[in-house]
Amino acid sequence: MIQGAELPESVLLKDKDGRADNTNPAQVFEFIAEKTLSAAGVAYTSQLQNEFITSGIMCKQTLYNCLNRLEKDERIRKLGRGVYKSIK
């Protein structure tokens, strides 16, 4: 049995509403897209970490989950270790 605060039955049985939160992946994509259009033409992991992790916007795992999701959705391409470029 779990110890702690009791929750109302309605909270425990509440269905998820099915909405997806694309805020983090959208922010990461916009950053990579900006860097892709810059003189360097790519975004580096160190830049992403400085922008999102060091500033406290998201944790490291969330950043890497976003990168994997964007790569899977074919919005970015991983050119090498720690090097990303937007493709859409």
Within a domain: residue 48?
yes
Q: What is the mean pLDDT of residues 47-71?
A: 95
Predicted local confidence at residue 22, as pLDDT: 78
User: What is the CATH number for 69?
Assistant: 1.10.10
Within a domain: residue 11?
no
Within a domain: residue 77?
yes
Look over the chain and give the mean of its residue pLDDT values, rounded to a whole number. 87
Separation CA 88–CA 74 (nearest Å): 8
**Cβ-count burial 26-65 (b if 16+ within 10 Å, e if not):** ebbbebbbebbeeeeebbbeebbeebbeeeeebeeeebee
Residue 33 has pLDDT above 80, yes or no: yes
pLDDT band at 9 (very low <50, low <70, confident <90, very high): confident
Within a domain: residue 80?
yes
Within a domain: residue 34?
yes
Within a domain: residue 8?
no
Structural domain for 56, as ranges: 22-86
Q: What is the mean pLDDT of residues 36-52?
A: 95
Within a domain: residue 1?
no
pTM: 0.75
Predicted local confidence at residue 28, as pLDDT: 96
H or E stretch including 31? helix 23-37
Neighbour tally for 70: CB within 10 Å:
22
What's the token pair of residue 82?
Answer: 């720690």
